[in-house]
Every structure is written in C-alpha cells, then in structure tokens.
Amino acid sequence: MKTRILVSLLVVPCALISALAAAPVPVNSQITAATVYTDRAIVTRTGTVELAAGEAEVTFEKLPAALMDQSLQVSGKGTAVATILDVNARTTYVEAAADARVKSLEDQIAAEQKKLRALGDRGVALDQQQTLIGKIENAVAAPPTKDSGATRPGFEEWQKLLTFSDEARTKLATERQALDAQREEVQAKIGALEAQLVALRGQAGSGRSYKTVTVRVAAANAGSLDLTLGYAVMGASWTPSYDARLRGEERAVELSYFGIVRQNTGEDWKGVALTLSTAKPGLGGGAPELGTWVVDVMPSDEAIALSPFSVSGSNDKRYRGMDTAGKRPLRPDPSSTSLGFGNGMALEAAPAAIVAQQAVATVDSSATSASFKIAAPATILSDNATQKVAITTITLAAKLQYQATPRLQETAFLSAYVTNSTDFPLLAGSVNTFLGDSFVATSGLKTVMPSEKFELALGADESIGVKRKVVNRFAEDTGLTGSGRRVTYEFLVTLTNNKKTTERVVFKELLPVSRNEKIVVKLIGPMERDVGTVAAPKEVTREADGKLVWRLDLKPGEKREIALKFSVEHPADVQVTGLE
C-alpha cells in the first residue's frame, strides 16, 4: 500500500513537468532585415529563446495573415545543441487592439466634422438673416391699409431702406463665400483623413487574422538558441527612379539611382537592413508550358465555354522534416540548425552592421538579377506611403548630341548617348534631368542591361539657337496651255552655337512624298546641288520616308544658314491634298 502511494506521488509531478515542457515557448522577435522585390518582400525576424533539454515548441506570434506558408525558412545557432524538427503556420483570429494611428485619425476626423457642423450652423443663421432682411423689405414696401393710418414711405425712407438692404446683403454674401471656402477646405481634409483611415483599417479591423509560426525543436542540452525566421509576404514593392546630371565639361552623365519603396504588409519595418532586388520571383523559374488546345463538337443540349489554355498546380500546406522535394529528411549543421521552405527565393542571412556615412548601396550581381543592400538602416511603415532610398551614383561617359525639328518647334533638345558600364541592370523608371544643378525635365528610362547602350533625353537647351522661316511660297501654271500646276516652297533654317565648345546638331525637315505618279516632287536647291546621287555631303542624308537629316558640327559661336527649296507639280485638273 505504501509503495502504491509513493508511485502516485511521483507520477503527478512528472506529468506536471511534462506538461510544462510541452507548453509553447513564445519568441520575442524583431524584424531585422527585409529584401524587397518588385511585387513582394522577404522579411527576416530574429529572436532568442531559452531551451531546456528535450523537445519544445517555439512560436512566432502575430505575423501577417498574408504570409506565404511555402516560403518559411528557419535557422538557428546558440549554446543549446538543437535540431529543428519541423515548422508550420496556422491562422489565428484575435480582437483588434486599439491602434494609436487609427485612434489619432479618428480624433482628427471627429474634430474636423465638428468644425463642419459649426460651419453648417452658421450657414443656417445666414439663411435666417437673409429671410429676415426680405421680410423687412416687404414690410416697408407694402402699401398701408386704410385702418392703419400709416402713410407711404418718403424718398429718404426709401433711400435708407436701399442702403440698409445693399449693405446687409453684401455682408451676408461675403460671409457666405468665406463660409463655402472653409467648408470645402474642411471637407477636403476629412476626405484625406478618411482615405488614410481606410488604408489602416484594411490592415487592422475587428476580428483581425494573424499567422502563428510554430517551430518544433529538440535540444540535447539546456541553453539559448538564436532563431532567424524568414518568410515572403505580398503587399511590398519598389520601383526605380533616377536623377541624371550632365557634366558638360567632362562629357559625362552622373546618374543617381534611387529606389521608391512602399509596403502595406501589416508590419512596420523599423531600423531594418533593407535590400532591393531586381529579381522577379512572381514569374517563376522557367518558361511556362503550353497546354493542349482542344477543338471538339459542342453538345447541343448545353453551352460550354472553351478555353485554349489550361493551368494546373499544387500547393503544399505543411512540411515536416523533409527537403524541398519532399523526399528525404533534413540533416542540420551541428553549428547552425536551419529548415527552409522555398519557391526559388533565397533568404539572406542577417547582414552585419553597415557604416551609414556612405549613402551608396552594396551591389551583389548574379546571372539573372542584382541586389542592392542599402547602406543606412531604413524605417518603412506599413501605410503604403512612398519612401526614397539612395542606391548608388554612377558616372557614365557620354556622347552629346543636340536634336531639333524646326518645322514643329524651334528648340534644340540635348541627348546623351551612353553605355551601361556597371555590372547590374538599370530598371525602367522615371528620370529627373538636371543641367548642372538646374532641373530641366522629367523623362523615362527603359530597362538597360550591363554593357547595353541607351539614350538619355536631357531636355531643351537654349544655348543652341534654332530659327525657321518661310522665305517664299508661290503657285504658277506650267505648260503651253496652262495644263499643269507648280507650287514652290523655300525655307531657311538658322542654327547658332552660343556655347564655348563644338557641338553636334542634328535636325530634320520634311520633303513631301508623292503617292501618285501624276504628282512630282522636285528638289530645286541647294539640295539638288549638294545632295546629288554622286557627291552627297556626309552632313545631309535623305531618308525613304521623305525626311531630310542634317548632321552638323558647329564650332563655338558659329552660325549656319541652311536653305531648303522644292516644288510640287501636278496636272491642273487634279485636286492635290496635303499641300500647305
């Protein structure tokens, strides 16, 4: 009997100890790094947990509901010799806690609505005053009754009434205009605040869902374990932006590369190591496979919508102790335990602290993409607001050339022809152009790969003068009987180089193109002499579509006058379209 009692007493504490050991251990983790792609981000969290010998479940709580389960990756190292057995994610629902930003916006909206109600009350008072003025006017202007004994107002009374009415109505109209302006301003402010509130409430509402990631760990001994959790989440993106500054004396373009980052993932990134990647994981790892295009006879008793393409796929929900192919157990490194779930996106280890004095990113290039590790820690809130971060600044040798179309606009536009001499691609984005430190234009840049040549439009430059005038235009009859008709045009284009350096100027003019054999276009001069088929100068070319292109090298202060003269002949009884 005493033996049974002793065994019972021993069983209860052991069961209690086992239950305590099996209880999940929450990790107090922080976001330390984020790699942003064009359509998603990989977030890295780190945290430390104390483990006892044996098996334990470690949890990362309140992660974004949009977390992609198949992208989970876990690694760890510490004083505890541990093996990560498996990892899984599940969705949990909790009541939304009060968000300070939501509360602040709600308070601001309430204050503005209070102002709007006050303005509305004042508007009602103005309406009442205007009604009262109308009653006073009617009462004074009304004819007196026989019983009242009153007389009609005299001239002075009428004058006083008109003065009172004019002053009162003018004052009311002025106040009403000011009231309307205040109302519009308050309504615009309320609209902006409500838009921000909608964006925040899209992240947090009543019954908000989260993901909880549970990592099952087996520890051979008690000790600490530093865990790193990585996962992909939608709602983040970045786009490139550029500042292009021409260094004319150096014949070079200084191109500053920026990343415009935004995120609405449900988590604020505060002081994280930020990396921008040009990879596009959303496109997959290879070219898509064509399905089968089936053509068949449609059954007469029903209508079936046919599609020429078919897509199939699968999605694993849980992954236990297997590699990415789902075939063999993982073998953790003795010094570093890790478990990864991936779709081809690599989770980078938490980078070392980067000196923030240089606002230039570190570039890692691969065969298909480049990653820019931003120098300074970044803070990007989950409010979808844009944030501009510096990537790098490169200096590219440039071949400068001015282009003009005097027929359409008497302005010379500067272009720089450069080669991407870097090891990374320049993604498509907007370009702010500066001549020196003066902003001149905004243009666009297409994606440029390493060693690829491209053109940068640098905007108008008034230092190259361009003028075009019509010297003559006259029509005359031709032939002995006047059966023909000839229209002769003469233009003069004047180019002036006001710069201190020799500049290449390219300009174009149009020559009419005949679509009928009865219409004949002839060059008269000086093009007929200078652009003959035998000895055409290199600075002028005639293209098939009727364009004449001049390529001139103008010396400092040089002025050139280029004349263009041509005629269009046709039978007098033929109506010709397109003539100016």
The two tokens of residue 164 are 């009172």
Long-range CB pairs of 66-69, under 8 A, 24+ apart, other chains included: 66/233, 66/234, 66/235, 66/265, 66/266, 67/211, 67/213, 67/231, 67/232, 67/233, 68/40, 68/231, 68/232, 68/233, 68/234, 68/343, 69/211, 69/317, 69/341
For residue 332, what are the contacts with CB-CB under 8 A and spacing of at least 6? Answer: 83, 84, 338, 339
pTM of the predicted structure, to 2 decimals: 0.58
Dihedral sign for Cα atoms in the order 91, 279, 36, 324 = positive
SS3 127: helix
For β-strands 54-63 and 25-26, DSSP reports them as: parallel
Closest by CA to 127, choosing from 163, 175, 164, 186, is 175
DSSP assignment string, 14-79? HHHHHHHHHS-EE---EEEEEEE-SSEEEEEEEEEEEE-SEEEEEEEEEE-TTEEEEEEEEEEEES
Q: Where are the chain's structural domains?
A: 100-203, 393-460, 464-571
Per-position pLDDT tens, the chain of length 580: 444 433 333 344 444 444 444 588 898 999 999 999 988 999 999 999 998 888 999 999 889 888 899 899 999 888 988 888 889 888 887 665 556 777 888 888 899 888 888 988 888 888 888 888 888 878 777 777 666 666 677 777 778 878 888 888 888 888 888 888 888 888 888 888 888 877 776 655 444 678 899 999 998 999 999 999 999 999 899 999 999 988 877 888 999 999 999 998 889 999 999 999 988 776 655 677 787 888 877 665 544 444 443 333 334 433 333 343 333 333 334 344 444 433 334 444 444 433 333 355 666 655 556 788 998 899 999 888 899 999 988 999 999 999 999 999 999 998 989 999 988 888 888 999 888 778 888 888 888 988 999 998 888 888 999 999 999 998 888 877 778 899 999 999 999 999 988 999 999 998 888 888 889 988 886 653 344 333 345 578 888 788 889 999 999 999 999 888 999 999 988 888 888 7
The two tokens of residue 75 are 């690694």
- Fold for the domain defined by 464-571: Immunoglobulin-like (2.60.40)
Closest by CA to 422, choosing from 396, 399, 398, is 396
Q: How many CA atoms lie within 13 A of 388 on its CB side?
A: 8
Supply the DSSP symbol for 166: H
Spell out a b/e string for 373-397, using b for 16 or more CB atoms within 10 Å of the CB, else e.
bbbbbbebebebeebebbbbebebe
Amino acid at 299: P
